[in-house]
Structure 1
Amino acid sequence: MAAVLDAAIAFFRKAEFTIEAEHPGDVVQRERLLDRAMGPARKRKSSEAIRRGRLPAQGLALVARDRDGHVIGTVRLWHVDAGVGPHGAAVPALLLGPLAVDADHEGKGIGAALMRAAVTEAAARGHGAILLVGDPEYYERFGFFAEKAAHLVMPGPFERRRFLGLELKTGWLDGAAGLLVPTGTRLSQPRIARVA
């Protein structure tokens, strides 16, 4: 694990929660948390269409845990092509989401801690930009602005003012235009043996 994430983990161990890499055993808790926080409509969102059937970017699936080890927050980032650049080449980026915190733990800075850890880790891993769909009133404090995604579109309905971008490398999204396309590793499907 990167040194930056290790430092964040050490800091948050003193608090009521810790931030760490998601483990395979967190799936059930994470999905229940997302269902509670976002409701049944979450799977119909445009950003979900990009994530469906894909694995999150390496090292960029994070959870917040309470002192008993329960998942109380989650954030994941996903590989996408953010349209094409001025020279016609695809522009690799990350799509952040969903970010969710258990309602019983809201107001403790967990969402902000997850965001800072995710952005810091993405930058440390050399990524150029992060995109998301969310309330600008919340995400602008982390450096996300609609102007950075002004010429990009989601596959399906989305609110233009809520489609935001953050450049981790200056100028990464300059001239990028077009449709976001998922590029991350596909989930492998288990083989089902046929009985003759």
Structure 2
Amino acid sequence: MSDLSLTILAETANDAQAVERLLERTFGPGRFVLSAYRIREHVDHLLDLSFTAWIGTLLVGSVRQLPITVGNVKALLLGPLTVEPPFRKHGVGRLLLERALRDAKAKGHRLVLLVGDEAYYSRVGFRPVPRGRATMPGPVDYSRLLVAELVDGAFEGVSGAIRPDWDFAK
């Protein structure tokens, strides 16, 4: 990371268009059919737990977190996480993840879930959700459903449908 002068900032409402353009470039329109987007249709991400990565005035990465419930337990859904292709393999994604998880824990959150690659996300503490413990709307590859406990044992006994946290509904 030493070769990049990177700044990680909490996302602001003014970042919305730049982040959406970044997501369009890196994920394309197909992202809207993903199961996580079914949840995002109903609740917005939390700006104070979503972060942007900048090199000077250039947006090079973004991670968002939104409020969900698993059964009746409050949690966060992390994603999307994206980094501009030329800036990948420089630790930008990891720095965004570490900041997102650290700030979520500091604000009292106990669980973060995501759909993603275990090999990548396990480096920051995510592990597979045991099969059958949680369900999501729409098609999902349950081998990619991961959880990070921000408090030891926070996922013990938690199961059920992953839904938007309706306290935050649009």
**TM-score scaled to structure 1, two decimals?**
0.81
SS at 1:173 equivalent: coil
Which residues in structure 2 correspond to 1:1-196 (within 5 Å)? Answer: 15-57=4-46, 59-67=48-56, 69-83=57-71, 90-147=72-129, 151-183=133-165, 185-187=168-170
| CA offset digits 1:166-196 (Å, max 9, x no partner) | 1111221111111101015233xxxxxxxxx
Asked whether the equivalents of residues 91 and 173 of structure 1 are also in contact (C-alpha less than 8 Å), the reply is no
Structure 1 unpaired stretches of 5+: 1-11, 84-89, 188-196
**Identity across matched positions, percent:** 36
User: Matched residues in 1 for 2:84 and 2:35: separation?
Assistant: 23
What amino acid is the match of 1:107?
K
SS at 2:23 equivalent: helix
Structure 2 unpaired stretches of 5+: none
User: Matched residues in 2 for 1:13 and 1:23: separation?
Assistant: 26
RMSD: 1.9
What amino acid is the match of 1:47?
A
User: Matched residues in 2 for 1:63 and 1:122: separation?
Assistant: 15
User: Matched residues in 2 for 1:46 and 1:165: separation?
Assistant: 16
Q: Which has the larger radius of gyration?
A: 1
Distance change in 2, residues 1:14/1:122 (3 Å): farther
User: Matched residues in 1 for 2:54 and 2:87: separation?
Assistant: 10
Asked whether the equivalents of residues 149 and 164 of structure 1 are also in contact (C-alpha less than 8 Å), the reply is no
Q: Tell me how far 1:147 sits from its aligned partner.
A: 3.7
User: Matched residues in 1 for 2:10 and 2:28: separation?
Assistant: 24
